[in-house]
């Protein structure tokens, strides 16, 4: 029994995981929460707010710039301070923030290019055959007057289905 007593006072036992009467799941949840950290983002200005709210935001490390995010430890004191100014800030746990940032990065990632293949009367056209067709049209266009060229190009453009 002497091993559970605090060195400062022989009468008060210390709280350890062995003598706390809670379930192991609760302890695991508390340990997991303690390992994670908090990211607090200022969403609204604290101008014209009560001085205690301004001081709380400053104590959390927020300088008054909307959108500013600070990285804080996950403990009771910080959580109580966040609760006081919950109408001014957003709070995320580290793994929630990582998931959100990954989703945003995925949404901003470049999309694969869209390849459109046009069909002609005889079926689909390979790129080489299409190049040959364009080359033939170009050589024909060089021999035509500008008026004939415009008429021929309009006919060609309308003959290729989209």
Distance between CA atoms of residues 5 and 26, nearest Å: 24
- The pTM assigned to this predicted structure is 0.50
Residue 139, pLDDT score:
63
DSSP 113: P
Domain boundaries, the chain: 23-108, 119-159
Closest to 74 measured CA to CA, from 93, 55, 56: 93
pLDDT tens readout for residues 67-124: 999 999 999 999 999 999 999 999 999 999 999 999 999 999 998 887 776 665 555 5
Between 143 and 65, name the one with better pLDDT: 65
| Fold of the CATH domain 23-108 | Ribosomal Protein L30; Chain: A, (3.30.1390)
């Amino acid at each position: 029994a002497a091993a559970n007593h605090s060195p400062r006072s022989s009468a008060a036992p210390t709280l350890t995981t062995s003598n706390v009467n809670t379930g192991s799941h609760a302890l695991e949840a508390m340990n997991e929460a303690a390992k994670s950290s908090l990211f607090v983002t200022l969403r609204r200005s604290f101008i014209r707010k009560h001085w205690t709210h301004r001081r709380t935001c400053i104590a959390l490390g927020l300088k008054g710039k909307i959108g500013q995010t600070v990285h804080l430890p996950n403990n009771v004191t910080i959580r109580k301070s966040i609760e006081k100014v919950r109408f001014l800030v957003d709070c995320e746990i580290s793994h929630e923030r990582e998931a959100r940032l990954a989703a945003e990065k995925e949404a901003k990632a470049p999309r694969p290019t869209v390849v459109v293949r046009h069909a002609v009367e005889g079926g689909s056209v390979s790129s080489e055959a299409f190049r040959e067709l364009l080359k033939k049209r170009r050589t024909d266009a060089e021999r035509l007057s500008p008026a004939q060229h415009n008429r021929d190009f309009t006919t060609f453009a309308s003959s290729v289905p989209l």
